[in-house]
């Protein structure tokens, strides 16, 4: 019988490398597909970015690593440019959100529009029966629908970033490393002499890589300095542009000691876009940082049937944030009102709110606004 063909998103990292190995071991015919989502040379040239001084950009290094893995596993590696799709569907939204003073999550959109959409189209052209990725997540068939489950490794679970996927995108999708924990992934890679076995995990925004984020944004968005104002109304410093700061942020405020205040760390507690003011307060648990209700827009509900009336579940408002018990309701315009059963810190407009029922990821949306005791937070 002919083997089923799987096209794996081979990124040059250890997770996708081990995913490819596990699929081969399971008896599939495996080929890799490397996604090029950002034209580093063209954009850096336009921006005069000093990264051009490097002989090989990080994206090309990843492709070289992916090719080494493919050669080691004796599989074919395809390479495809998704630069235009990425610019149109991810990057322009990313910039527009920052211009509004919000904090977007481009990784979620990259999954929705590139890895699980444009990628699938190319994979189908290559004859794929299944699509596979190195995400820490799982799927399960429940009757006529596919459920998205948290990865076995709760510390690495990536369902938060997959919350905008739909039933079609999850169909025939495999997450081999979602069934195991990260240390086991490393152990397998070392044991099988996979070239990426000891490669450091990537960090930062998916297309930017590990470069100065503030300098990167300066190339695309005009900013204006303004006042940093303490919660008592006093001006205590200057900010470089509201887009560079997010709710709950501590680092990068450049606020030294002030004789009028205690020697405690400062945190961003709000933004006044109309007056170009950054609001700050002292203490990680400053009361203005907490919300007990949020309006969530651009909802993607993964199950085929939407809930009716009040629905109790849990939610994450940031990737590393612990689950919070919530009660959610649909509004007439298709948004969700989310009531937290206990106040949540730094519920930030532009970020994702993702809903769960035990281990099942139900989907999510974008945080429009946050409230505390009925009063809208000035985030």
226 versus 44: the higher-pLDDT residue is 226
Q: What is the mean pLDDT of residues 351-379?
A: 96
The position carrying tokens 């495999």 is 174
Residue 134: pLDDT above 50?
A: yes
CA separation for the pair 239, 249 (Å, rounded): 13
CA separation for the pair 132, 116 (Å, rounded): 10
- Find, among 316, 310, 314, 306, the residue nearest to 345 by Cα: 316
Question: pLDDT digits over 84-111, tens only?
Answer: 999 999 999 999 998 888 999 999 999 9
Topology, domain 288-376: Elongation Factor Tu (Ef-tu); domain 3 (2.40.30)
- Find, among 336, 324, 301, the residue nearest to 148 by Cα: 301
What is the model's pLDDT at position 215? 76
Domain parsing of the chain, residue ranges = 5-212, 223-282, 288-376
Residue 57: pLDDT above 70?
A: no
Q: Which CATH architecture has domain 223-282?
A: Roll (2.30)
What is the model's pLDDT at position 50? 42
Q: Would you call 57 a catalytic residue per the annotation?
A: no
Q: Which residue in 57, 206, 313, 338 is the catalytic one?
A: 206
Question: pLDDT digits over 28-41, tens only?
Answer: 999 999 999 876 65
Question: pLDDT digits over 271-300, tens only?
Answer: 999 999 999 999 999 999 999 999 999 999
What is the model's pLDDT at position 56? 53
Where does 5-212 sit in CATH, by number?
3.40.50.620
Q: What is the mean pLDDT of the chain?
A: 91
Could you tell me the pLDDT band of residue 221, with boundaries at 50, 70 and 90? Answer: confident
What is the model's pLDDT at position 48? 41
pLDDT > 70 fraction of the chain, expressed in percent and rounded: 92
pTM of the model: 0.91
Q: Would you call 206 a catalytic residue per the annotation?
A: yes
Q: Which residue in 110, 313, 338, 361 is the catalytic one?
A: 110
């Amino acid at each position: 019988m002919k083997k089923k063909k799987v096209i794996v998103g081979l990124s040059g990292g250890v997770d996708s490398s081990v995913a490819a190995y596990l699929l081969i071991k399971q008896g599939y015919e495996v080929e890799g597909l490397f996604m090029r989502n950002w034209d580093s040379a063209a954009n850096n040239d336009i921006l005069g970015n000093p990264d051009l001084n490097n002989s090989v950009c990080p994206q090309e290094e990843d492709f070289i690593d992916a090719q080494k893995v493919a050669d080691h596993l004796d599989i074919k590696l395809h390479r495809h440019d998704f630069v235009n799709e990425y610019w149109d569907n991810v990057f322009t939204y990313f910039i527009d959100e920052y211009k509004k003073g919000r904090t977007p999550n481009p990784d979620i959109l990259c999954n929705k529009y590139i890895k699980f959409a444009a990628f699938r189209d190319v994979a189908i052209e290559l004859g794929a029966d299944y699509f596979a990725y190195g995400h820490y997540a799982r799927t399960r068939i429940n009757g006529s629908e596919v459920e998205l489950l948290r990865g076995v490794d709760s510390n690495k679970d990536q369902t938060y970033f997959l919350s905008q996927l739909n039933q079609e995108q999850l169909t025939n999708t495999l997450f081999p490393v979602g069934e195991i924990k990260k240390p086991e992934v490393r152990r397998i890679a070392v044991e099988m002499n996979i070239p990426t076995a000891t490669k450091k995990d990537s960090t930062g925004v998916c297309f930017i890589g590990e470069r100065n984020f503030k300098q990167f944004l300066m190339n695309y968005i005009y900013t204006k300095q303004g006042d940093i104002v303490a919660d008592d109304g006093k001006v205590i410093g200057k900010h470089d542009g509201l887009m560079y700061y997010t709710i709950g942020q501590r680092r990068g405020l450049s606020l030294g000691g002030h004789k009028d205040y205690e020697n405690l760390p400062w945190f961003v507690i709000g933004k006044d876009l109309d007056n170009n003011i950054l609001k700050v307060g002292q203490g990680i648990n400053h009361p203005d940082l907490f919300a007990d209700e949020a309006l969530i827009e651009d909802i993607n509900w993964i199950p085929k049937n939407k809930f009716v009336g009040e629905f109790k579940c849990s939610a994450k408002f940031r990737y590393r944030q612990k689950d919070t018990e919530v009660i959610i309701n649909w509004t007439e315009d298709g948004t969700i009102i989310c009531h937290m059963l206990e106040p949540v810190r730094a519920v930030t407009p532009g970020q994702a709110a993702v809903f769960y029922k035990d281990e099942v990821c139900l989907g999510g949306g974008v945080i429009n606004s946050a409230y505390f005791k009925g009063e809208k937070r000035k985030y």
